[in-house]
Amino acid sequence: MSKFGGSNNKKEVPAMTSSSLSDIVFMLLFFFMVTTQMRETENKVMVKIPEASEVVKLERKDLNSYINIGTPIKSLQAMYGTEARIQLNDSFKTTDDIRDFVAAERESKSEQDRQFMTVSIRADQDVRMGIITDVKQELRRCSALKIMYSARKGGQ
Amino acid sequence: MGKKKVPAMNTSSTADIAFLLLCYFLMTTTMGSQTGLSRRLPPMPDKNQKVEDQKVNRRNIIQVKINSADRIFAGSEPIDVSQLKDKIKEFLTNPADDPNLPEKELQEIEGYGECYVSKGIISLQNDRGTSYQAYIAVQNELVKAVNELRDDFSRKNYGGKTFARLTEDEQAIVKKAVPQFISEAEPKDVGRRR
């Protein structure tokens, strides 16, 4: 004799409502959309960024352009060898191309932001300074003077 | 009379759709903020302009060299990375008014008053064969030395607060009182001459 007087006495477990599941997943989705940024370029060089303890955060990500320096990734080593290379945007370049690269980057920023443009040098920790010195000299020549040596925060 | 009930929409697939979207964003985006050591390069000297060496008193400059074997020389003697910070701090503060260490200049700083400011300049020179890691390690030590001096200065003058916790105006004053002069010299082959 059931208390509620139902016609069938069999106790049924109600189905779990999964309507909130989508809300949870959406929340996750928004979290990732806000905290991450689009990957613009495919890495063609292996870069293991060196560690430093006194790093500062970059204030304006949108005013940043990247110069990647390192050895080509495994699948490209057959074609390009293992010598350290410079990657600008999506392809291997030489120091002579930095001038055009900087000019193009500068063009893409709005007028009042151009002076704050930062060039971020993301170089592998085993790269020799020779190539970086060349890059720095070239940057000086195109008067892109604000630079940043990418480094990971690491305890020392 | 029974009202016709509209059956509830089956929402179980929304979660799947959202998951797909989530996976898409996980794959295409990168996490993390960019961090690094910020520097300003000196402008390229004009070609027409005659290259004139800036006359800097010898005692005001310390040369930090890194050779192709990643050995570090500060001044003229070899030094370990771990000792470099203290060496630089000693150089910049010159606590005993040593005539071989940089002179200090009484400067009027707006909003603070008069203060002795060191005229020391750190000149960093590297070889083409120096590894990037060693270079960053040295840069890091130099910045650390200056940061610690700034912290000391802030603690002394602003009631025990560290530099990072000061207001922007106060930070500007401290930056003037403890300047960071790190010059990256024109590239030279340091290793080959030796």
* Complex confidence, ipTM: 0.72
Cβ contact (<8 Å) for A147 and B39? yes
Q: Chain B interface, mutation test: which of A16, A20, A22, A33, most B Cβ atoms within 10 Å?
A: A22
Q: Is the CB of A148 less than 8 angstroms away from the CB of B130? A: no
Task: Tell which of B10, B24, B85, B133 to mutate to test the A interface (max A CBs under 10 Å).
Answer: B133
**CA dist., res. A52 & res. A50, Å (int):** 7
Question: How big is the A-B interface in CB pairs under 8 Å?
Answer: 151
What total of structural domains would you count in chain B? 1
Domain presence at residue A77: yes
A33 is a domain residue:
no
Q: Report, as an integer, the average pLDDT of A51-72.
A: 82
Which tens digit of pLDDT belongs to each residue from B79-114?
A: 888 888 888 888 888 877 777 777 777 777 777 777
Q: Is position B101 within any domain?
A: yes
- B10 domain residue, yes or no: no
How many domains are contained in chain A? Answer: 1
B50 in a structural domain:
no
> Residue A55's domain spans which residues?
45-153
Q: In what order do the strands lie in the sheet with B61-66?
A: B77-79, B72-74, B61-66, B121-126, B182-184
pLDDT in tens, B28-79: 777 666 788 888 887 776 665 555 556 667 778 888 888 888 888 887 788 8
Among chain A residues, CA nearest to B21: A29
Cβ separation B12–A145 shorter than 8 A? no
A125 vs A65, A83, A132, B11, B97, CA distance in Å?
19, 14, 11, 51, 39
Put simply, the answer to whether B41 touches A21 (Cβ < 8 Å) is: no
Q: Indicate the pTM of the whole model.
A: 0.74
Residue A73 belongs to a domain: yes
Look at residue A145 and tell me whether its pLDDT is greater than 70: yes
In a domain, A82, yes or no: yes
Please indicate, yes or no, if residue A71 is contained in any of the structural domains: yes
CB contact under 8 A, B34 and A58: yes
Residue B96 lies in a domain: yes
pLDDT of the residue at B156:
84
Instruction: Mark yes or no for CB contact B37/A148 under 8 Å.
Output: yes
Residues of B in contact with A146 (CB under 8 A): 38, 40-41
How close, in Å, is residue A95 to chain B by CA atoms?
A: 15
* Confidence grade of residue B194 (pLDDT, cut at 50, 70, 90): very low
Query: Which amino acid belongs to residue A65?
Result: S
B164 assigned to some structural domain: no
3-state DSSP assignment of residue B160 = coil
Structure tokens at B30: 């990168």
**Touching B: A residues 71-110, CB under 8 Å:** none
Asked whether residue B193 carries a pLDDT value surpassing 50, the answer given is: no
Question: Mutate which of B23, B81, B85, B140 to disrupt the A interface (most A C-beta within 10 Å)?
Answer: B140
| pLDDT for the residue B47 | 63
d(CA B165, CA A132): 35
C-beta atoms of B34 and A153 within 8 A: no
**Would residue B103 count as lying in a domain?**
yes
| Exposure string over A88-121, b if 16+ CB within 10 A, otherwise e | bbeebbeeeebeebbeebbeebeeeeeeebbbbb
Q: What is the pLDDT of residues B118-176, one digit of tens each?
A: 888 888 888 888 888 888 888 888 888 888 888 888 888 887 888 888 888 888 888 88
Percentage with pLDDT > 90 across chain B: 0
Residue B173 covered by a domain: no
- Check residue A2 and give its pLDDT: 46
Give the per-residue pLDDT at B191: 46
* CATH number of the structural domain spanning residue A72: 3.30.420.270
A9-13, A46-50, A52-56, B188-192: the lowest-pLDDT one: B188-192
Q: Is residue A90 part of a domain?
A: yes
What is the CA A79 to chain-centroid distance, rounded?
25
**Does B113 reside within a domain?**
yes
